Amino acid sequence: LDDLLGEGVRGRYVLVRADLNVPLDGETITDDGRVRAALPTIEKLTSAGARVVLTAHLGRPEGAPDARYSLAPVARRLGELLGSEVALAEDVVGASAHRVVGGLADGGVAVLQNVRFDPRETSKDGAERGQLADALVELVGESAAFVSDGFGVVHRKQASVYDVATRLPAYAGGLVLSEVDVLRTLTGDPNRPYVVVLGGSKVSDKLGVINALLPKVDQLVIGGGMAYTFLAAMGNSVGDSLLQQDQIATTKQLLDEHGDKLVLPVDVVVADRFAADANTQVVPADAIPQGWQGLDIGPRTVERYAGILGSASTVFWNGPAGVFEFPAFAEGTRGVARAIADSSAFSVVGGGDSAAAVRTLGLDERSFSHISTGGGASLEFLEGKDLPGVAVLEGRA
Ligand code: 3PG
């Protein structure tokens, strides 16, 4: 981005891919962290007089306009935060987009409608994606520049992330740069003890990162729904808890090979149904009664995890420890987050739900060294995978 600013951008169109994929309750944004994270790059460009055209996705619409996934609430919030008008095009590269982009003044900002309303964005066919990338280039003109600042999507080989970067002079935005810098310290030689806390519902989604991390970490602490597959693999009955039966053998092998590093809950909060007002009780993790399901880690587990985190020098945390959206099952996630916030370790919160949890559970974001905007992207980075949206920038550079 600094290179681009050094070239001078007054009056030049700059297409910025941001990750503005925020959680919504109807039309209300419940966590605007990703919108705020996009501001510094946008503000640097507008102060330098660029005409900023933002492209982004929201949710996973099926390649067609769908009002539930409109970027309208995001454009409104962006306008409030920037303190200036942000125009929203009603389409991605159609007549409305051309009108809105054509009407941009120097230092102005426009948002294109959800890029995933166009099926070519996520197509596996490079030629199809290329057509959308060409249409984006046509929209902003061939003298435009592209800034990739949506770290949360750099693991996606999609038209607005990857293909467009092969067609316009392409630059990394400040957010992408800082995220990559921080995550590289974790894949490099982090200070020890290096502790990773992983939560989330499915063990199958995390197997790649678990396998990649186990040789590198000192302890891998497990929470969330996936803990029950681990507990079942140890031979415990888990009642009605979430269980991936088909992952038990793999999970058992992980425990056999790395049991010394894997840390599992010793007690859990169980509920008689999946509801905010369910009846609850705390039970030992090896004695979950039939008819009950584990929805959070218990207080003894929180204490144990807090002890491990308190003596860590480097911490990475991804995935809530329980169903924190329901207050009755938020204490585990709050306890883990607080222990990380209180520790003097270099701490990285890996995006998505965990970042939202930090903010919605009322913790101070400044107590963490870095809160990543990328969920899947940060995990794939730690797993050592090539991220197409980063690789394409490195190739261009
Ligand atoms: C995210 O929420 O992790 C990013 O916005 C990417 O979204 P996706 O998983 O739908 O590609």
Give the model confidence (pLDDT) of 5-20 as tens digits. Answer: 999 999 999 999 999 9
**Average pLDDT in the chain:** 96
From ligand 1's centre to the CA of 50, what distance in Å?
A: 27
Share of the chain above pLDDT 90, in %: 94
**Three-class HEC string of 218-276:** CEEEECCCCHHHHHHHCCCCCCCCCCCHHHHHHHHHHHHHHCCCEECCCEEEEECCCCC
Rounded Cα–Cα distance for residues 114 and 120 (Å): 12
Q: Sketch out the chain's domains with CATH numbers.
A: 2-177 (3.40.50.1260), 189-383 (3.40.50.1260)
**Tokens matching residue 173:** 């935005």
Dist CA 249 CA 228 (whole Å) = 13
Q: Which pLDDT belongs to residue 359?
A: 85
- For the ranges 94-108, 151-165, 258-272, 359-373, the lowest mean pLDDT is seen at 359-373
Residue nearest to atom 1 of ligand 1 (CA): 152
| Mutational test site, ligand 1, from 58, 156, 381, max ligand atoms within 8 Å of CB | 156
For ligand 1, atom 6: residue with the closest CA: 153
* Tokens matching residue 359: 């903010």
Residues in the chain: 397
Residue 1 · residue 178 · CB < 8 Å:
no
Whether ipTM tops 0.85, in short, is: yes
Question: Positive or negative, the Cα torsion across 6, 17, 315, 24?
Answer: positive
pLDDT band at 352 (very low <50, low <70, confident <90, very high): confident
Q: Specify the pLDDT at position 38.
A: 98
Cα(279) to ligand 1 centroid in Å equals 34
CA dist 249 and 311 (Å) reads 32
Residues touching ligand 1 (Cβ under 6 Å) are 19, 21, 60, 152-153, 156, 352, 375-376
For residue 354, give the nearest of 223, 190, 229, 243 by alpha carbon: 223
Q: Average pLDDT in the 115-129 region?
A: 98
Residue ranges for the known binding site are 19-21, 34, 57-60, 116, 156, 206, 294, 325, 351-354
| 8 A C-beta contact, residue 356 and residue 30 | yes
**How far, in Å, are 44, 128, 153, 164, 341 from residue 161 at the CA level?**
20, 14, 7, 7, 33
Q: How confident is the model at residue 353 (pLDDT cuts 50, 70, 90)?
A: confident
Confidence bin at 351 (pLDDT 50/70/90): confident
Q: Read off the pLDDT band of 124 (50, 70, 90).
A: very high
